[in-house]
Structure formats: structure tokens, C-alpha cells
Structure 1
Amino acid sequence: MGEDRQATFGADGSLDTETPPEAREGTTDWGEPKGDGETDGGYNRYDVSSLLQKAVRRSDEEVAAWAAWELARSGYAWNLWDRLHLYVVEDLRAGQDVALLVERYETLATERWEPDGWRGRICAVHAALACARARSSRESPNADEFFRNAAAARADVRGTDEDPVADFPVGDLDPDGEFDVAFDKHTAEGSRRDRGDRFFKVFGARVGPEGEDDRSARWQRLNMALSDVEYDDAEVAHAVEPVGEADRWADPVAFDGRDGDAGAGDDEDA
């Protein structure tokens, strides 16, 4: 079984895929030989691994710390670190710095020290605590599942007059629609519409809704003043105005097509 996936078991409790080889060195805490997939405390390592994930997801620091410690001390550090790297993208809110911490703790535990030794175990506990203390969220797997379901729903009604029961948030992504601003000089459609530097600066480069800080806004104004394109005061003001909280894609300032410089200037990928 590839360790990029979680173990999945059938109704009879057996693995659906081939079980990876397990190290059986040593004995349990009471001196009995360890079985396949057994931890030093006599637990099934799949159960402990699953418990660790649920503890991270539910922000239970003590249980997460124990589960990580149990896996590390029992010779399953490889399983522990693989799982923790999955958890930071599956069960935590995007942007959590803990993803970098987990990698650093793993490096210390597995490359500098022995993963099942004292230092390796406390690295495991540190990593588990950091994950449990981070903000939990299932947003990424929920998004992945919804987008897959929406794709299937769209495909089901392809070529018919029916609307899909679920759709992507951008619909068909048509020019002149809600997301028209995306069709700037960095796209073929935008180039055909002669949307060059003026369109990009005034519309496509806006940020928000927090907006630019004062320094960045000043630089943008200066860049527009020094440009070969002549911008009026309304265009400069709109370029640094934050997008709206309620409607991030609205651009009420009319674009009069005075470009003639499509493809020049900013270096962005199509």
C-alpha cells in the first residue's frame, strides 16, 4: 500500500490493499513479542494513526501528543511523519505555519537523531502538539470533493438543456460575465480585445478588500505617472482602490478601450 494514502479496511476488518512490511523488533511493554502492526503499548498502529488524525482535527492536544509518542517509540516514525504531513493539508486551515514546523521537526527527528529515541520522540510530540493547536478545518478536502462532484454534475447534463445540480463557482467563465476582469492582456481573449497595460493597471492589478498599504499604493501611483500610458485621475484612484467586500469582481469604472499597448509591461504568465 502506498503511504501517500490512508489505510482502508473492508467490512471484515482486513486491509483492502497489501499491508506494507512491519518491523517487529522488541516486545510489548509487558514483554510479549510484538505482532504485525502492533505498538509497544499493545495497540494496533492503524488505530493509533487514525486516533492521531482525529485528535488533531478536534484539537485534543493530550491525545495527539500521546498518539504521536506511541507511534514514534514503537518504530512507526515513518508512518507518523507521513501522516502528520497529510494532516497539515487535510485537517488544518490553509496558511497555518505549522506545515513548516512539522517538516523541521521531522528533519531533526530522522536525520539528526534517532526517530524512536528520546530526541526523536519529543520531536514527534512537538509536531503533534503544534498540529493540534493550529486552527482545524476540513476546507481543502471538502473543496476537492465538492469540485469533483460539481464536475460530474456538469458532465451529466452536457449537451442537454438542463442545468447541473451543482456548478463551479465561476460557471462557464465567459467574457463580459462576472469575472470579465480576468480577460486581460495575459489571456488570448484579452489580447483580442486590446486590453493592454491600461486595463491591467486600472482593473486587473487591484487587490483587496484590505487594499494596498500606503507605500505600495504610492508606488503604484508613481508607476502609473511614469508610464508611457496616460492615466487620468479617476483611473489612478480606481487602480489603488480596494475591491468591495460584498462584490470583489465589480469594476464600475468604464473602460473606453484607449489601450493600443496590449502585451507590454508587466511580466505575468498567461
Structure 2
Amino acid sequence: MADGDDRQATFGSDGSLETETTPDATGENDFGEEKEPNETDGGYSRYVVSSLLQKAVRRSDEEVAAWAAWELARSGYAWNLWDRLNLYVVEDLRAGDEVALLIDRYEELATERWEPDAWKGRLCAIHAALAAARARSTREASNADAYFSAVAEVRAEARERGEEPAHDFPVGDLEPEGEFDAVFDGHTGEGSKRGRGTRFFNTHGARVGPEGEDDQSARWQRLAMILDEDTEYEADELDRAVEPVDPNDPWGEPGDESGGGDGDGEGDRNDGQEGDRNVGQEGDDAPDGSLDDFGA
């Protein structure tokens, strides 16, 4: 099947459509009349049906979405249908919805295994449209793009005037020692200059949440840190590494109001302190080196 992008409509200076009708979309409509350019078998404009499909997906109208997909597929505009459905996945559906994989699979079946306007191809079109209509609808990505773009203009205009912007990006200036200090680990130039190596990454940059690591993952993480021959960790650092972030303050650090925490100094070793890898001195309740308390 040809690339749908090559068949998208363009408009002339007078507003008229400048496009060619594909061979698959020619022939007669349901009334025995020769189809006009961009006309569907039912006598509709494919542009209107395509727009209807998107609005039906957005409004979760399953029947209308299924019909619009069927109409485009049977009329020889399957390329238009699949191009649009893939756009809807990113424009109108909630991020992370698995329907994107379903639609991709239905398109593969309809266009590579079967004929897109034949019975099996039409069934795939209907399935894909229903899957999209049943998914959680949201324009969050489009709204975020519009908002961030508007803020970018406000910031640029404010800088030109030498003023603080009335609206700013959610990260502000994004500088070390600020709210997002955890990102400045050894993977960044600023973090490297501060000597933020493995210790800082494990105890700040690698934290997850707010659900946190499950028991198995947390066990592995603790053991990997304890067995690290180049970096020695205190017990509170092991706890910090696996503590989930606060859902109300995802960039805050436990027990560290400054947000910076350790790692600004030089080493990944703890200045040669003995017993750090055993997470406590002999006689404490912490592991004594056997790692039994961690299930090893």
C-alpha cells in the first residue's frame, strides 16, 4: 500500500483542493453514479467522513466511528483511514493506552495480509475504530503542546523586555541545588563537576515512585549497592535509594529539606570508613556481612 502522506490534500491559494483521487477510490457510488473526486461509495466527501471519524473517536461514539471507518475502507480510502487512526492515537487518546498496538496490528493485517477494501480488511477497519472509540479519550498531548508553545513565546518576549515572564515552564531555570537537583548527576556536565557519581545516582537519580520498587526489585537494588566494590553506602543511603517519591512532592528528598543532599563531594567511597558495605558495625541489628537479612 502506498504511503498515505503522499495522498494528503493540499489547498491552492483560492482555497480549492489540489489532490488526485486514487485508483482504488474510482468507480460508481451506491446509486450507480460515477464517483466524483474524493467521494465515498455512500456519496459523502471523504474529508467529512474522516473528520467525523476523529470526532466520533474523541466523543467515544462507537457506532459512528465504526461506520466512518467502514465507509472509508470500502470506498478505496483505506490509506486515509489508517493514516488518520494512527494520528488519533497520539492526538486524542490517553498516553500509554495499548490501543496503539492494536491499531497497528489491525492495519498490518488489513493492508499486508488482506485487501484493505475487502471483507477482512473492512473488519479490521471496524475493529480499529471501535478500539479507538472505547479507549480513554483526552487531548492532553495536544493541549500540552499548545500550552508549552504559548509559554515559550511569553518567556522569549519577557526576556527581550528584560522582565520576568508572567508564565514559565514547570521547571523554571532548571539549575543545580534547585527543586530538580536530582537530575544533575554524573550524566550531566554540572553533576560531573560536583563529583556526583554512582552514590548520587543510586540515592537520588534512580529513585522511583510513588508506587516504589516491589520487594524483589528493592532487594536486588540493595544487594547490588552492598556488593559494589567501588562505592560504600550507609544504612540510610540504602533506605533512601528504595524509598518511593512523595506523590505530592516528587522531587523532594527524604530527610533532606535542601534537596541537594550528599554527593557534592569527591568520592564514591565513604572516606575509607570501615564496615559501610556491611551496613552497620558488628553487634548492630544491621547485616553483619553475610547479607542474610537481605535474603541472599
Could you state the TM-score of these two structures normalised by the residue count of structure 1?
Answer: 0.90
Amino acid aligned to 2:137 = S
Is the CA contact 2:107–2:124 (under 8 Å) kept in the aligned structure 1? yes
Identify the residue that residue 40 of structure 1 maps to in structure 2: 41
Identify the residue that residue 267 of structure 1 maps to in structure 2: none
Between the aligned partners of 2:139 and 2:126, the Cα distance in structure 1 is 22
Structure 2 residue 19 is matched with structure 1 residue 19: yes
Identify the residue that residue 64 of structure 1 maps to in structure 2: 65
| Stretches (4+) displaced over 6 A | 8-13
Identify the residue that residue 145 of structure 2 maps to in structure 1: 144
Q: List gaps (5 residues or longer) in structure 1.
A: 263-270
Q: List gaps (5 residues or longer) in structure 2.
A: 270-296
Amino acid aligned to 1:89 = V
Identify the residue that residue 133 of structure 1 maps to in structure 2: 134
Between the aligned partners of 1:153 and 1:4, the Cα distance in structure 2 is 36
Between the aligned partners of 1:159 and 1:11, the Cα distance in structure 2 is 35
Query: How many Å apart are 1:257 and its aligned residue?
Result: 3.8
Query: How many Å apart are 1:3 and its aligned residue?
Result: 3.1
Between the aligned partners of 2:219 and 2:7, the Cα distance in structure 1 is 49
Amino acid aligned to 2:80 = N
Structure 1 residues 50 and 10: alpha-carbon distance in aligned structure 2, compared to 1, 3 A threshold: farther
Identify the residue that residue 245 of structure 1 maps to in structure 2: 247
Identify the residue that residue 215 of structure 1 maps to in structure 2: 216
Amino acid aligned to 2:143 = N
Structure 1 residues 11 and 134: alpha-carbon distance in aligned structure 2, compared to 1, 3 A threshold: farther
Between the aligned partners of 2:9 and 2:179, the Cα distance in structure 1 is 43
The percentage of counterpart residues that share the same residue type is 68
RMSD: 2.2
C-alpha distance after superposition, 1:197-240 (max 9, x if no partner): 11111111100011000000000110111112111111100110
C-alpha distance after superposition, 1:131-169 (max 9, x if no partner): 001111101111111111111111111243322232211
Q: Secondary structure at the match of 1:81?
A: helix
Between the aligned partners of 1:256 and 1:216, the Cα distance in structure 2 is 24
Query: How many Å apart are 1:25 and its aligned residue?
Result: 2.2
Could you state the TM-score of these two structures normalised by the residue count of structure 2?
Answer: 0.82
Moved more, 155-164 or 217-226: 155-164
Is the CA contact 1:198–1:259 (under 8 Å) kept in the aligned structure 2? no
Between the aligned partners of 2:142 and 2:171, the Cα distance in structure 1 is 19
